[in-house]
């Protein structure tokens, strides 16, 4: 790890001001990806701006048909939140599957989304639950947020403050784990909002999370496992690595989608 300056601003305003001054600085959320990258010397920011003590960035608010989660809310808080379990149980269940216990108590939703790891879980939820990412400047629809491998719509210095999810009628997330890292080799989030509005978010399979529109159409017509079971996903453009070929990932998208629908119907 290379040397860096550590800062702990007390407010989002101070954090933004620091980010403006330190062009090679980085926000530090839960540190579950960034610190690892720094240890491997893949990332070497001059300054770390720790958001950990900024209380205004954390918290869970349920209002009407949506759930707003502060950017610095830890995965474990989402997993154990009674309000989220009541409104979007599948989101709490998904958060409980992220990483391991230690990761869930440090990692944050904002950090995960800003990082846009191709195998992270939250991006699938943002797409399936029609999420909106709120930053210090604007609101970005989830569909326009993920731009590619570790790429998002965020501009330099822009700070995610919260994420808002639409509450579905029912939904579920199914993950097939990478045997080594335990990240999603393929993860599929299915959400049914009723009146033929179904959204399917896929993670782990492409450069970044994406929606599976063919499955959305099929499930909108009939929300049942058999509606997706026979859909053959095209492997073109899917990730290829030592753990899974594009063909295997394409196959797993169908299997995980089918199982997610089964789970959502339980």
Partner 1 sequence: MVVTWASKRLNRAVKWTSDRSEAFVSDAHGRDHVTTAELALDKNGKFLAMRVGTTANLGAYLSTFSSCIPTILYATLLAGQYKTPAIYCEVTAVFTNTVPVDAYRGAGRPEATYVVERLVETAARELKLDPVELRRRNFITEFPYQTPVALCYDTGNYEATLGAALKIGDVAGFKERREQSLRRGKLRGLGYACYIEACGIAPSNVAGSLGARAGLFEAGEIRVHPTGTVTVFTGSHSHGQGHETTFAQVVAERLGLGMEQVEVVHGDTSKILFGMGTYGSRSLAVGGTAIVKALDKVIAKGKKIAAHLLEASEGDIEYERGLFKVAGTDKQKSFGEVAFAAYVPHNYPLDKLEPGLNENAFYDPTNFTFPAGSYVCEVEVDRETGATQVVSFTAVDDFGKIINPMIVEGQVHGGLTQGIGQALTENCMYDADGQLLSGTLSDYAIPRATDVPLFKIDTRETACTHNPLGVKGCGEAGAIGAPAAEMNAITDALGVKDLPMPATAQNVWRAMHTR
Interface residues toward partner 1, by CB under 8 A: 40, 176, 178-181, 183, 241-245, 248, 251-252, 255
Q: How far is the CB of 255 from partner 1 (least distance, A)?
A: 5
- By beta-carbon proximity to partner 1, the closer residue of 3 and 242 is 242
Burial 47-73, CB ≥16 within 10 A → b, else e: bbbebeebeebbebebeeebbbbbbbb
Per DSSP, 33 falls in state T
Give the residue with the Cβ less far from partner 1, 79 or 185: 185
Q: Are 224 and 261 within 8 A, CB to CB?
A: yes
- In this structure, what token pair is assigned to residue 96? 């409980």
Q: Which is nearer to partner 1, 224 or 255 (CB)?
A: 255
What proportions of the chain, in percent to the nearest 5, are helix, strand and coil?
35, 25, 40
As a dihedral over the C-alpha atoms of residue 28, residue 32, residue 33, residue 39, rounded to 10 degrees, the angle is: 90
**9, 18 contact by CB (below 8 A):** yes
- Minimum gap (Å) between residue 176 Cβ and partner 1: 6
Minimum separation from the CB atom of position 42 to partner 1 (A): 11
Shortest Cβ 170–partner 1 spacing (Å): 22
Output 1 or 221, the one with its CB closest to partner 1: 1
Residue 107 CB, nearest approach to partner 1 (Å): 15
């Amino acid at each position: 790890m290379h040397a860096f300056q550590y800062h702990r601003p007390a407010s989002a305003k101070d954090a933004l001001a620091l980010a403006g001054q330190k062009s090679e600085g980085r926000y530090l959320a839960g540190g579950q990806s960034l610190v690892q990258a720094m240890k491997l010397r893949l990332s070497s920011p001059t300054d770390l701006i720790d958001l950990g003590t900024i209380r205004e960035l954390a918290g869970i608010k349920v209002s009407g048909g949506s759930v707003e989660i502060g950017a610095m809310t830890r995965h474990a808080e989402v997993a154990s939140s009674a309000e989220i379990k009541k409104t979007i149980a599948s989101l709490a269940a998904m958060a409980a599957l992220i990483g391991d216990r230690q990761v869930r108590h440090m990692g944050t939703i904002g950090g995960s989304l800003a990082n846009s790891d191709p195998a992270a879980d939250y991006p699938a939820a943002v797409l399936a639950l029609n999420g909106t990412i709120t930053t210090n400047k604007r609101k970005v629809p989830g569909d326009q947020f993920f731009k590619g491998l570790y790429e998002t719509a965020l501009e330099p210095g822009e700070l995610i403050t919260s994420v808002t999810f639409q509450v579905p009628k029912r939904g579920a997330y199914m993950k097939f784990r990478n045997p080594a890292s335990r990240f999603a080799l393929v993860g599929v989030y299915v959400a049914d909002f009723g009146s033929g509005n179904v959204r399917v978010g896929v993670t782990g399979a492409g450069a970044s999370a994406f929606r599976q529109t063919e499955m959305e159409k099929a499930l909108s017509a009939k929300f049942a496992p058999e509606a997706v079971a026979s859909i053959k996903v095209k492997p073109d453009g899917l990730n290829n690595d030592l753990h899974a070929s594009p063909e295997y990932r394409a196959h797993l998208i169908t299997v995980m989608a089918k199982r997610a629908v089964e789970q959502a119907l339980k």
